[in-house]
Chains A and B, each alone.
Chain A
Amino acid sequence: MTVLLVALGAAVGAPLRYAVAMSLDGRVRFPAGTLLVNVVGSGLFGTFAALALGDAGWALLGAGFCGAFTSFSSFAVQTVERSGRAATAYVVATTVLATVACALGWTIGTHWGGVG
């Protein structure tokens, strides 16, 4: 049951990531779409974690939707396809912004009456 809910959430998150990446990654030299998806998905993940959704809700929204909306493999390959300063900037931007977004999401979630 849990695995099915994860698959269901991912079936929405993964194509949404693909759509955003297709729309934004090609326009600028920087993979802005994947960066955006990874930052927004990490922020939502933090919020959902703080809200203590229960097993089913977490499987659908946290592990499923956010897990598949964000992608480490794309981030890693996009990084090694770049060189020097561009690669470093992409790694720093993704890591710092995703971590900050997650912490911010968690704070917002706890203020909404979660596990805080």
Chain B
Amino acid sequence: MSARALRGTDLLLVAAGGALGAALRVVVDAAAPDTLVPWPTLAINVVGAFLLGLLPALAAVRRSRRVALAIGPGLLGGFTTVSAWVGQVRDLADTGHADLAGLYLALTLAAGLGAAALGQHIAHAPEPRGALE
């Protein structure tokens, strides 16, 4: 991402996508059973990281910068969250579950980064090396 002038329409697209993504996040969270380890947030972050890695493979995203903005920093940015993740880590550690806090932190990192790498690998696989850079 390069530094350039911000456009109003871009911000509106990110806002709309972000609103939808965040709403989806709380709907998923509310639908899941209440457990000590916050599995819904873990799943949301892993799935969101995978999809963002995969995004360049979508024809609509390659054709339109606006679609890419609405889905990437918008929908997937609003769907996934760092604040709730570390907030849950803090909460677990504070309530006497330091071991689970560490496990949850590490599991999100490992699965999330692995998912992003897998998504990127799939997205870039059929292309000649460097074609999408």
**B22 contacts the other chain (Cβ, under 8 Å)?**
yes
**A10 contacts the other chain (Cβ, under 8 Å)?**
yes
Contact A14 B81 (CB under 8 A): no
CB neighbors of A among B28-82 (8 A) = 45, 48-49, 51-53, 69, 73-74, 76-82
Select which of B1, B53, B69, B81 is within 8 A of A67 by beta carbon.
B81
Q: A8–B2 Cα gap in the complex (Å)?
A: 28
User: Helix, strand, loop or mixed for chain B's interface?
Assistant: helix
Task: List residues of chain A with CB under 8 Å of any chain B CB.
Answer: 2-4, 6-15, 17-19, 21-27, 38, 41-42, 44-46, 49, 59, 62-64, 66-77, 79-81, 91, 94-95, 98-99, 101-103, 106
Q: Knowing that A18-B77, A77-B52 are A-B contacts, what are 12 other residue pairs whose CB atoms are under 8 Å apart, sorted by A's residue number?
A: A11-B16, A15-B14, A22-B4, A46-B87, A63-B25, A68-B18, A72-B48, A72-B85, A76-B113, A79-B116, A91-B109, A94-B82
